[in-house]
Amino acid sequence: MPDGLVRLLWEVDSSGYDITRRRDIRDPAAEKYFTWAKTPDNAQFIVPRGGRPKRYEAGLREDSIFLDLANSARLPGQDGVKEFVNKWGQLHPPLGYASLARFIRYRDVFVRAIGPPDGDVTQLLREVSKSLGSDSPYEVGSLRVRYFTKGSQLYLQSRTLVQFCALELLQARAGKIDVTTCGACGRLLPIYRMGRTKLYCNDACKMVAYRANHGDQLNRARRQKRAKRR
């Protein structure tokens, strides 16, 4: 599947998201997003603050959103969830309410599927197909065929962010793209067949790793420098 053929058009609340218990949600329109009768009062939901919708577009292997989803598990408590949704939005309803437990369940499935080379992709497909109401337990749902008049571009549009993340992972597997971890903070990073392997997230992580590996040498140089000044 060509990388640029499948794209995602999605929206993020520009004001951000809060995580709120069901009993504290006072919006009558919330009933269209989940069944109140089957939801405990203390169940938590990811709730948009009601800011202006901000639309973005992404293509397969452009941003590796599925890795951001998996990496959100590294931050403590709800910090990782908030970081992800504030950047990429909800996994299902673009600007609606979404269950925090459901988000974490999907994230955990992605973490297991990405992990080893023979990760549990089958379970990932089951979870995604279940959420999209597919008849088959091994489908990730249908795609919309879209025609973009500017430039006469034809492409397939993913229906949800979680579907797009699943397609990203499957494309990575098909392209023999492996995953490594940052040498400093441990975040997941993609390894491509072409080009130089990225060992660190950014220059800050590279410096942290350098200081950890050359700490004695750096301290000795500092002591020598102070001794010369005296």
pLDDT tens for each residue of 52-111: 999 999 988 788 899 999 999 998 889 999 999 999 999 988 878 888 998 998 998 888
Tell me how many domains the chain contains: 2
> How far is CA 220 from each of CA 78, 188, 209, rounded to the nearest angstrom?
41, 33, 18
Same domain, 183 and 207: no
Structural domain boundaries, residue 229? 200-230
Q: Is 38 exposed, middle or buried (0-12, 13-18, 19+ CB in 10 A)?
A: exposed
Same domain, 89 and 160: yes
- Choose among 189, 168, 170: nearest CA to 180: 189
Same domain, 75 and 170: yes
Same domain, 168 and 192: yes
What value, to the nearest 5°, has the Cα angle with vertex 164 and ends 172 and 83?
Answer: 95
Higher pLDDT: 15 or 138? It is 15
Q: How confident is the model at residue 1 (pLDDT cuts 50, 70, 90)?
A: very low
Same domain, 157 and 218: no
Same domain, 80 and 172: yes
Q: What's this model's pTM, rounded to 2 decimal places? A: 0.76
Same domain, 149 and 214: no
